[in-house]
Amino acid sequence: MLLLVGLGNPGSQYAGNRHNIGFMALDAIAKRNGIRPWRRRFQGLSAEGPLGGERALLLLPGTYMNDSGRAVAEAAHFFKLGLSDIVVFHDEIDLAPGKVRVKTGGGIAGHNGLRSISAHIGNDYRRVRIGVGHPGVKSLVEVYVLSDFGKNERPWVEALCAIIADHTELLAKGQDAAFQNKVHLGMQAKGFLAANEPEQPDE
pLDDT at 200: 58
Q: What's the domain range around 31? A: 2-189
Please tell me whether residue 179 adopts helix, strand or coil conformation. Answer: helix
Mean pLDDT across the stretch 175-203? 83
Catalytic residue among 19, 90, 111, 184: 19
The DSSP string of 63-101 is S-GGGHHHHHHHHHHHTT--GGGEEEEEEETTS-TT-EE
pLDDT at 96: 95
In a domain, 176, yes or no: yes
* 117 touches 69 (CB < 8 A): yes
In a domain, 62, yes or no: yes
CATH number at residue 31: 3.40.50.1470
In a domain, 160, yes or no: yes
In a domain, 196, yes or no: no
In a domain, 197, yes or no: no
In a domain, 37, yes or no: yes
- What percentage of the chain reaches a pLDDT higher than 70? 96
In a domain, 105, yes or no: yes
Q: What is the pLDDT of residues 34-47, one digit of tens each?
A: 999 999 999 999 99
Q: How many domains does the chain have?
A: 1
User: Known catalytic residue: 167?
Assistant: no
* Dist CA 7 CA 114 (whole Å): 9
Query: E strand or H helix at 113, and its extent?
Result: helix 112-121
The whole-chain average pLDDT of the chain stands at: 94
The DSSP string of 146-170 is TSBPPTTTHHHHHHHHHHHHHHHHH
Look up residue 162 and give its amino acid: A
Mean pLDDT across the stretch 81-85? 96
